[in-house]
């Protein structure tokens, strides 16, 4: 089966800037795909080009193998969950969900609405107006409003950004589960690497209007193809031009044996994070590194002479 | 007393001197007897109010309401698309707003006279139409209900455009995009999303147009040629040619009472939770 959504050399100029700079992507049917990047990298513009809110300067958007560049948003079978949710404030939760069904002339409204309310666990709140719903509930209405239309692709623009941190983590799990159960392709835009890593089947890391790398979360995190990707997905210790993740970095006494690569240094401090401890070490070469280690392995005092150790399989190098 | 409380003092003085006192005088006059040469005399009476129930005056009142309602409706029909256009304009937004307010640069009286010069038998429109041979005798454009309606809609249109524009300007553009995203064509979005959400502006604009139209006397006098008697002209006549100050006062009080009741009812249904 071909990809449900394909972007071919997509370019979007705005007066004075190039927001999207030649993006090609192929997103398989039924997958959870993320566009990850810092703000201003063009990820939201890409989403808006797919939804039809913006017209590409060059290149094509293909849905189900068909070029849809000239189709209006209401003629494309994609649906967007907006960052602000964009619920209609004058309509109840139920009327918000019915809105798209009525526009498309889809019958059996009652059953579909009941099912989708159950699907997003919102049964009982249907008569409330958006102002009477909590942030999490508003998001569920926004999801239900789009999901009930069974879109080819559901576009999610930073959907978790407005939630408090605890709810955000819970919703990550739920969103992923919803995607699996619904079998609908999700395209998520986010600047939060943890979010992208934890939910996606595949993700594309974007920077300055271009795609830096596409791959599975493991691929992108463990085998980044550029220093930007390595740095954007997590912290990196740079030791002699080679990158090592803090959690792959071990601290050892100089006398301790081991087959790993090692480099001598001195402990400058430590940061207690609860579930682990970060030991800060200045290497003899002058480079500062952070080793993220278990609490039990962290009995170091500032001034201790130590060795920083790592396995060469954890090395990230870019030529 | 806190300094802040003094900030309202000028307003209190202004309202007491120029609203409360004249209102009290009008209210008092309405319960007195008509003087022979105008003015008022003892004793107290409710005769003026009894006369209000004369079918003649009820007709005037009804006609005024109909005229004010029609003007408001027409203003809404013209103002909403204009306000929507301006709020969605990418460039020249300020220019369009200036154009809406341009008529205020000249006095209302002068502009109303300008309409007379346009509409009269020897006016610009009739002269032009006759010159092209489309008509042979002038069209009766002036001194009728249509001319009054035209004058009212023309005069109060900006008061409808501006409040609607203000609410549309605050409308979250994502809501319009969301509607399109869910399959709504532009016209459906206008009627199902934009119009309901601009209700506060529509209500404010309607109040700003309806109330002055209801009490208008200059426009019906000049463009209606005195043939269209509206309640404003009735009041004016009582204080001038008819020299019946108590009755003029009673009509004024009735008009004010009706407007107050209407406003109260409107604001009550408006205060329902919306957003």
The pLDDT value recorded for residue A17 is 82
Query: Which residue of chain B is at minimal alpha-carbon distance from A98?
Result: B182
Statement: residue B145 has pLDDT above 50: yes
Q: What region, left, alpha or beta, does residue A158 occupy, with left being phi > 0 and alpha being psi -120 to 50 degrees?
A: left
Statement: residue A219 has pLDDT above 60: yes
Partner-chain contact A103 B274, CB within 8 Å: no
Closest CB to A86: pick one of B175, B188, B273.
Answer: B175
Could you give phi then psi for residue B143, rounded to 5 degrees? Answer: 60, 50
Statement: residue A293 has pLDDT above 50: yes
Contacts of residue B182 in chain A, CB cutoff 8 Å? 74, 79, 99-100, 103, 145-146, 149
Alpha-helical (H) ranges within chain A are: 43-51, 93-103, 109-119, 135-147, 165-182, 193-199, 217-222, 227-233
pLDDT digits (tens, 9 = 90+) for B239-266: 888 888 999 999 999 999 999 998 888 8
Cβ of B199: how many Cβ atoms within 10 Å? Answer: 14
Query: Which residue of chain A is at minimal alpha-carbon distance from B178?
Result: A86
Partner-chain contact A88 B172, CB within 8 Å: no
CA dihedral B172, B175, B180, B185 (to 10 degrees): -80
B49: tokens are: 């109010």
A194: tokens are: 């943890």
Statement: residue A2 has pLDDT above 80: no
Q: Quick check: A166 contacting B, CB < 8 Å?
A: no
Place of tokens 């004016």: B236
Distance from CA of A172 to the nearest CA of B (A): 23
The pLDDT value recorded for residue B65 is 93
Partner-chain contact A80 B177, CB within 8 Å: yes
Enumerate residues 6+ apart whose C-beta is below 8 A from A256.
A307
> d(Cα A120, Cα B124) in Å, to the nearest integer?
67
Helix pair B21-30, B245-270: axis angle to 10 deg: 120
CA distances from B237 to A288, B9, B32, B255 (A): 93, 36, 18, 15
Q: Number of C-alpha atoms within 13 angstroms, CB side, residue B208?
A: 19
Pick among A89, A104, A141, A149 to test the B interface (most B CBs inside 10 A): A89
> d(Cα B16, Cα B21) in Å, to the nearest integer?
6
Partner-chain contact A100 B183, CB within 8 Å: yes
> d(Cα B235, Cα B256) in Å, to the nearest integer?
12
Q: pTM (2 decimals)?
A: 0.83
For residue A1, name the pLDDT band (cuts at 50, 70, 90): low
Q: Number of C-alpha atoms within 13 angstroms, CB side, residue A229?
A: 26
Which of A10 and B137 is assigned the larger pLDDT?
A10
Cβ of A304: how many Cβ atoms within 10 Å? Answer: 16
Dump strand ranges (E) for A167-295: 185-190, 202-207, 210-215, 237-239, 242-244, 250-252, 261-272, 277-283, 288-293
The CA-based angle A76-A79-A81, given to 5 degrees, is: 155
Cβ of A295: how many Cβ atoms within 10 Å? Answer: 12
Alpha-helical (H) ranges within B31-123 are: 47-51, 55-88, 93-101, 108-119
Q: Quick check: A130 contacting B, CB < 8 Å?
A: yes
Statement: residue A195 has pLDDT above 90: yes
Q: Quick check: B179 contacting A, CB < 8 Å?
A: yes
Cβ of A123: how many Cβ atoms within 10 Å? Answer: 10
pLDDT digits (tens, 9 = 90+) for B8-67: 899 999 999 999 999 999 999 999 988 887 788 888 888 889 998 889 899 999 999 999
Cβ of A278: how many Cβ atoms within 10 Å? Answer: 18
Contacts of residue B275 in chain A, CB cutoff 8 Å? 89-90, 129-131
Question: DSSP readout, A25-73?
Answer: EEE-TT-EEEEE--TTSSHHHHHHHHHTSS--SEEEEEETTEE-TT--G
Q: Quick check: B272 contacting A, CB < 8 Å?
A: no
Distance from CA of B113 to the nearest CA of A (A): 44
Statement: residue B90 has pLDDT above 90: no
Distance from CA of B33 to the nearest CA of A (A): 54
Distance from CA of B94 to the nearest CA of A (A): 21
Query: Which residue of chain A is at minimal alpha-carbon distance from B189?
Result: A103
Q: What region, left, alpha or beta, does residue A119 occupy, with left being phi > 0 and alpha being psi -120 to 50 degrees?
A: alpha
Q: Quick check: A259 contacting B, CB < 8 Å?
A: no
Pick among B175, B183, B191 to test the A interface (most A CBs inside 10 A): B183
Contacts of residue A53 in chain B, CB cutoff 8 Å? 177, 180-181
Distance from CA of A166 to the nearest CA of B (A): 27
> d(Cα B163, Cα B82) in Å, to the nearest integer?
12
For residue A259, name the pLDDT band (cuts at 50, 70, 90): low
Q: What percent of chain B has pLDDT over 70?
A: 97
> d(Cα A30, Cα A82) in Å, to the nearest integer?
21
Could you give phi then psi for residue B36, rounded to 5 degrees? Answer: -65, -40
Closest CB to A100: pick one of B177, B182, B193.
Answer: B182
For residue B271, name the pLDDT band (cuts at 50, 70, 90): low
Enumerate residues 6+ apart whose C-beta is below 8 A from B259.
B211, B214
The pLDDT value recorded for residue B211 is 93
pLDDT digits (tens, 9 = 90+) for A268-292: 998 998 888 999 999 998 899 999 9
Partner-chain contact A84 B188, CB within 8 Å: no
> d(Cα B1, Cα A219) in Å, to the nearest integer?
71
Whether B139 contacts B126, CB under 8 Å = yes
């Amino acid at each position: 089966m071909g990809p449900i959504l394909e972007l071919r050399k997509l370019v979007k100029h705005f007066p004075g800037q190039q927001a999207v700079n030649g993006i090609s992507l192929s997103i398989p049917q039924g997958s959870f795909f993320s566009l990850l990047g810092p703000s201003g990298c063009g990820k939201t513009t890409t989403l808006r080009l797919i939804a039809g809110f913006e017209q590409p300067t060059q290149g094509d958007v293909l849905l189900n193998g068909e070029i849809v560049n000239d189709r209006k948003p209401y003629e494309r079978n994609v649906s967007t969950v907006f960052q602000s949710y964009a619920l209609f404030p004058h309509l109840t939760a139920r009327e918000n969900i019915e809105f798209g069904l009525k526009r498309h002339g889809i019958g059996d409204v009652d059953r579909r609405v009941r099912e989708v309310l159950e699907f997003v666990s919102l049964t009982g709140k249907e008569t409330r107006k958006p102002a009477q719903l909590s942030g999490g509930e508003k998001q569920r209405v926004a999801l239900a409003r789009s999901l009930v239309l069974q879109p080819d692709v559901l576009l999610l623009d930073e959907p978790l950004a407005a939630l408090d941190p605890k709810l955000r983590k819970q919703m990550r799990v739920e969103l992923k589960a919803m995607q699996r159960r619904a079998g609908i392709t999700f395209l998520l835009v986010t600047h939060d690497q943890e979010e992208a890593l934890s939910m996606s089947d595949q993700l594309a890391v974007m920077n300055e209007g271009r795609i830096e790398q596409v791959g599975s979360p493991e691929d992108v995190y463990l085998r980044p193809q550029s220093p930007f990707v390595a740095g954007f997905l997590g912290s990196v210790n740079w030791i002699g031009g080679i990158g090592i993740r803090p959690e792959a970095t071990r601290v050892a006494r100089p006398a301790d044996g081991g087959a790993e690569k090692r480099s001598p240094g001195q402990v400058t401090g430590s940061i207690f994070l609860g579930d682990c401890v970060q030991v800060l070490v200045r290497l003899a070469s002058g480079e500062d590194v952070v080793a993220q280690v278990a609490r039990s392995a962290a009995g170091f005092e500032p001034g201790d002479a130590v060795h920083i150790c790592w396995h060469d399989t954890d090395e990230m190098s870019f030529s | 007393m806190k300094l802040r409380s003094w900030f309202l003092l000028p307003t209190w003085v202004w309202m007491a001197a120029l609203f409360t006192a004249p209102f009290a005088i009008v209210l008092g006059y309405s319960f007195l007897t008509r003087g022979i040469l105008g003015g008022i005399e003892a004793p107290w009476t409710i005769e003026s109010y009894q006369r209000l129930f004369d079918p003649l005056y009820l007709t005037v009142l009804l006609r005024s309401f109909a005229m004010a309602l029609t003007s408001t409706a027409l203003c809404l029909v013209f103002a909403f698309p204009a306000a929507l256009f301006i709020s969605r304009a990418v460039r020249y937004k300020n220019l369009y707003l200036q154009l809406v307010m341009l008529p205020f640069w000249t006095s209302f009286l002068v502009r109303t006279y300008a309409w007379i010069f346009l509409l009269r038998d020897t006016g610009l429109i009739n002269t032009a139409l006759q010159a092209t041979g489309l008509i042979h005798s002038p069209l009766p454009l002036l001194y009728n209900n249509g001319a009054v309606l035209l004058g009212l809609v023309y005069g109060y249109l900006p008061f409808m455009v501006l409040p609607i524009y203000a609410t549309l300007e605050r409308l979250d553009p994502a809501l319009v995009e969301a509607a399109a995203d869910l399959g709504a064509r532009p016209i459906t979005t206008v009627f199902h999303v934009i119009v309901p959400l601009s209700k506060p502006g529509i209500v404010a604009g309607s109040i700003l147009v309806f109330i002055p139209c209801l009490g208008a006397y200059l426009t019906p006098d000049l463009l209606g040629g005195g043939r269209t008697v509206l309640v404003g002209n009735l009041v004016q006549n009582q204080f001038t040619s008819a020299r019946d100050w108590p009755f003029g006062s009673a009509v004024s009080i009735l008009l004010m009472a009706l407007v107050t009741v209407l406003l109260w009812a409107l604001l009550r249904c408006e205060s329902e939770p919306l957003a």
